[in-house]
Amino acid sequence: MSLMRQIAWLVLGVVLAALVGAVGLSTLSLRQLMQTQLALKNADNAQSLALALSQQKGDAELIKLLVSAQFDTGSYEFVRWRGPQGETLFERTGAARPGQSPAWFRSLVPIEAAPGVAQLSSGWNAIGAVELKSHAGYAHDELWLASRRLLAWLLGVGIVAAVLAWAGLQRIRRPLDAAVAQAEGVLAGSYGQVTEPRVPELQRLTRAMNAMVQRVRDLFEAQAGQLLVLREQVHHDPLTGVSTRQHFLAELDAALQRDDGPASAGLVLVRLRDLPGLNARLGRGAVDDVLLTVVTALQAYPESVAGCRVGRLNGGDFALWLPVEGVAAETAHALADALRASLPAFGPGVQVVLGAIELPRERPSGVWLGEADAALARAEHLGEARGGFVVEIVADPGIGREQGEGQWRQQLRQAVSQEQGRLVEFPVRDRTGRLLHLECPLQLRLEADDLPASAWLPLALRARMTAAVDLFAVSLALKAIAADGQARCINIAPASLADTSFLPQLRELLSQWPQAARALLFDLAEAAATEHFERLLELGRQLRPLGVKLGLEHAGAGLAQVDRLYQAGLDYVKLDASVLLGVAGEAGRAAFVRGMVIMLRSLALKVYGEGVVDEMDAQALWDCELDGLTGPWVTDTSGA
C-alpha cells in the first residue's frame, strides 16, 4: 500500500474514531442526565401524591381514586399503594408505549430510573407508602432524536474535515509525486528540475533531489565533453582538425552502404605538390600554414552541404566526399581557383593538383579510391608539364537517368498509391545470436525493378513525398508484424516530420494495429536530434503512448553535441559504421566507442552497432558492451 493511501486511511480512521467517540460519549452523557431527571421526577411526583393521599384520613376508596387519577394524568409504568407491612393494597400498571426509538437502541442504551417512594400517614398513624415509576419511552425518544441530530452534525463536520484533509494530502502529494517522477526521470535519462514546495520537510527533500539531479547532469555533460575531446584525438588530424585517413575511409565506407543518399556522388582529392621540397625551402611552420589554407578552402563545403566529409589522407593529400550528384567537376574547379588565388602568397612553387571522380554509389570503396588515385596521378603528371593547379575529372558514363525527373516523380507517386513496394529485412542480433528486430528498408518498384532508397529517396525529397512513402513503409511493417509477431524497424525521413499531416496520419494508422504497433521501431537519422530536436520531441510525445519505440540511426560523435539528448525520450541509438569500422585494430577508436556506450547507457538507452563487416570488429564491439549489431557480417552469420 502506498504511503499516501496509508496516510489517507489513517486520517479516515482518526476521523471515524473521533466521530464514534463523540457520538457515544454524548449519548451516554444524555442517558445519564435523563436517568437523573426521571429519578427526580419520580421522587417529586411520589411526594406530591403522598401529600394528597395523606389528607384523605385513611379513606381507602378516596386513596384508590386519587392513585388512579395520578396514573391517568401521566405516563407511568406503575403506581402502587402499599400497606404498612409492604403489601400491595392497590396498583395501576400500564404497557410501554411504542415510541420512535428502535428496539436495538433501547437495548443498547437502557434508561433505568429509580422509582419514587413516599410515606403515607393519617394524622400520626402510618398507613403505608406510595410508589411510582414513569415510563422511559419518552426519554428514549428524546435521546434517540438528540443522538441522530448530533450524528448528523458530526458527519457534516467529518465530511468537511475529510475534504480539507484530502486537499492537504493532495498538496503534500504533489511535491512527492514530483520527486518520484524526477527520480524515475533520472532512471530514464531525463534530468529535470522540480519547483521547491513551501512545506519545510518536503522543501529540503526537493532541494536535495534537485542538487542530486544537477550533479548527475553535470557528470553527463562532463562525460560528453570528454567524448568530444577523445573524438578529436582519435578521429581528427591534430594539425588541420579534419578526419584522419582511417576515419575518413570509414566514413566513406559507411556513406556508400547507406540507402539514404543520392544514386551517384563525387570524390575530390587535393595534393600539395612537392611537400618535402616545401619543408626544406619554406620551413615547417610556413608549410603548416599552407596546409591550413588548403583545409580552410575544403571545409567551406561541409559547412554548406550536409553530409560532406573532409579528410587528410597523408602529409599533403586531402579528400573531399560530396554526397551530391553532378557537382564533383564544378567543386574541383572552384577549389583550384580558390587555391590559385591564395597559395602564391606563401612563395613560388606552392601549387596543388586535384583529381575528381563521380561514380554510382553502388561501386565498392576500393573502386572509388582507385579511380580517384588514378585521376590524381594523371593530374600530378600534367602538373609537372604545366606548372601545377591541374584538375583531372573522371565521370562514369553511366551516370544520369535515361528519362526525365518528371516521369520518375510520376512513377514514384504511382508506386506509393498502388502499394508497389516491399521491405527488405536485415537482422539485428545480440551477443548470443538472438534476433532483436529486423531492419526493414523500403524498396519501391520503379520501371519494373525494386529500387533501394538511394535511387528513389532524392526524388521523394524533391517531390516532398517522403511522408507518403514513410506511411506506406509503416503499413507494410504493421501487416508483417501482425502476420509473424516479429519486431521490425522502419526508417523515417526527417523531412517527413516537417509535414503537418504526417503525425496525425501516422497515429491513425498505428491505432488501427494497436498490438502490432507495440513491436514497431522507428529509426531517424542523427540529424533529427542535432537539427530538428523539437520535432523529435513531438514525435516521441505522440507515439510513446502507442508503444512504438524511437531511436537514432547513423549516430556518431554528433550525439555528444546534443545539449538536451536526455530529454529526447529515445529508446535506443544505432552507432554509425564510420565510428565502428576498424575498432578492433585501434585502441583509441575502441575507447571512444566504449565512452559513447557508457554515456548513452547513462540515459537508459540501448546501443546497437551498424554496418559491421568484420568478425574481429564484432568481437571488439561485444567487448565494448553493445546491445546488438547489424551489418553484412551479422547477415552472413545468420544465413550460415
Do 352 and 465 reside in the same domain of the chain? Answer: no
CB atoms within 10 A of CB 335: 23
Q: What is the mean pLDDT of residues 310-319?
A: 91
Q: What pLDDT shows up at residue 188?
A: 56
Do 509 and 469 reside in the same domain of the chain? Answer: yes
Do 469 and 368 reside in the same domain of the chain? Answer: no
Across 124-128, 214-218, 285-289, 362-366, the highest mean pLDDT is recorded for 285-289
What's the CA gap between 318 and 314, in Å, rounded? 7
Residue 219 lies inside a defined structural domain of this protein: no
Q: Which of 44-58, 184-198, 237-251, 607-621 has the lowest mean pLDDT?
A: 184-198
Do 345 and 484 reside in the same domain of the chain? Answer: no
What's the CA gap between 606 and 629, in Å, rounded? 11
The grid coordinates listed for 635 are 547477415
- 8 A C-beta contact, residue 248 and residue 309: yes
The grid coordinates listed for 313 are 589522407
554 phi, psi to nearest 5 deg: 55, 35
What's the CA gap between 407 and 98, in Å, rounded? 102
Residue 215 lies inside a defined structural domain of this protein: no
CA atoms within 13 A on the CB side of 421: 30
Q: What is the mean pLDDT of residues 462-478?
A: 90
Look at residue 44 and tell me whether its pLDDT is greater than 80: yes
- Mean of all residue pLDDT scores within the chain: 83
The secondary structure of the chain in percent helix, strand, coil, rounded to multiples of 5, reads 55, 20, 25
Look at residue 262 and tell me whether its pLDDT is greater than 90: no
How many domains does one find in the chain? 3
Residue bearing cell 467517540: 21
Q: What is the strand order of the sheet 317-322 is part of?
A: 309-312, 317-322, 264-272, 352-360, 391-395
Q: Name the strand (E) or helix (H) holding 272.
A: strand 264-272
Quickly state the pLDDT bin for 577 (edges 50, 70, 90): confident
Quickly state the pLDDT bin for 399 (edges 50, 70, 90): very low
CATH no. for residue 376? 3.30.70.270
SS (H, E, C) 201-234: HHHHHHHHHHHHHHHHHHHHHHHHHHHHHHHHHH
- 8 A C-beta contact, residue 159 and residue 15: no
* DSSP state, residue 199: S
Residue 574 lies inside a defined structural domain of this protein: yes
Do 331 and 455 reside in the same domain of the chain? Answer: no
Range of the domain at 421: 405-639
What's the CA gap between 178 and 33, in Å, rounded? 55
pLDDT digits (tens, 9 = 90+) for 9-23: 777 787 778 778 877
With 0-12 CB in 10 A as exposed, 13-18 as middle and 19+ as buried, what is 223? Answer: middle
Do 391 and 409 reside in the same domain of the chain? Answer: no
Do 7 and 140 reside in the same domain of the chain? Answer: yes
Residue 125 lies inside a defined structural domain of this protein: yes
Do 321 and 347 reside in the same domain of the chain? Answer: yes
Q: What is the mean pLDDT of residues 210-229?
A: 71
What's the CA gap between 23 and 158, in Å, rounded? 12
What's the CA gap between 49 and 104, in Å, rounded? 34
With 0-12 CB in 10 A as exposed, 13-18 as middle and 19+ as buried, what is 282? Answer: middle
Q: What is the mean pLDDT of residues 458-463?
A: 76
Q: What is the strand order of the sheet 125-134 is part of?
A: 88-93, 76-82, 125-134, 116-122
Residue 331 lies inside a defined structural domain of this protein: yes
What's the CA gap between 302 and 268, in Å, rounded? 13
Across 193-197, 275-279, 549-553, the highest mean pLDDT is recorded for 549-553
Residue 596 lies inside a defined structural domain of this protein: yes
What's the CA gap between 424 and 635, in Å, rounded? 12
- 8 A C-beta contact, residue 39 and residue 178: no
CATH no. for residue 55? 3.30.450
What's the CA gap between 48 and 120, in Å, rounded? 11
CATH no. for residue 411? 3.20.20.450
Do 610 and 511 reside in the same domain of the chain? Answer: yes
Of 139, 148, 313, 175, nearest to 242 (Cα)?
313
68 phi, psi to nearest 5 deg: -65, -40
First to last CA, the chain: 53
Count of residues in the chain: 640
Residue bearing cell 613560388: 348
pLDDT digits (tens, 9 = 90+) for 103-155: 788 788 888 888 889 888 877 777 889 999 888 877 878 888 888 888 888 78
With 0-12 CB in 10 A as exposed, 13-18 as middle and 19+ as buried, what is 166? Answer: middle
Residue where one domain finishes, among candidates 132, 159, 186: 159
Residue 480 lies inside a defined structural domain of this protein: yes
Do 388 and 415 reside in the same domain of the chain? Answer: no
Do 458 and 605 reside in the same domain of the chain? Answer: yes
Of 344, 343, 342, 296, nearest to 320 (Cα)?
296
Residue 466 lies inside a defined structural domain of this protein: yes
Quickly state the pLDDT bin for 428 (edges 50, 70, 90): very high
Residue where one domain finishes, among candidates 133, 159, 185: 159
Look at residue 638 and tell me whether its pLDDT is greater than 70: no
What's the CA gap between 471 and 455, in Å, rounded? 18
Do 424 and 295 reside in the same domain of the chain? Answer: no
- Between the CA of residue 397 and those of 263, 316, 360, 452, 528, what are the distances in Å? 14, 30, 10, 21, 35
Residue where one domain finishes, among candidates 139, 159, 179: 159
Of 562 and 144, the structure prediction assigns the larger pLDDT to: 144
441 phi, psi to nearest 5 deg: -70, 150
Residues 6+ apart with CB under 8 A from 100: 141, 144, 145
Q: What pLDDT shows up at residue 639?
A: 59
Of 47, 38, 57, nearest to 124 (Cα)?
57
- Between the CA of residue 495 and those of 491, 511, 515, 565, what are the distances in Å? 12, 23, 27, 20
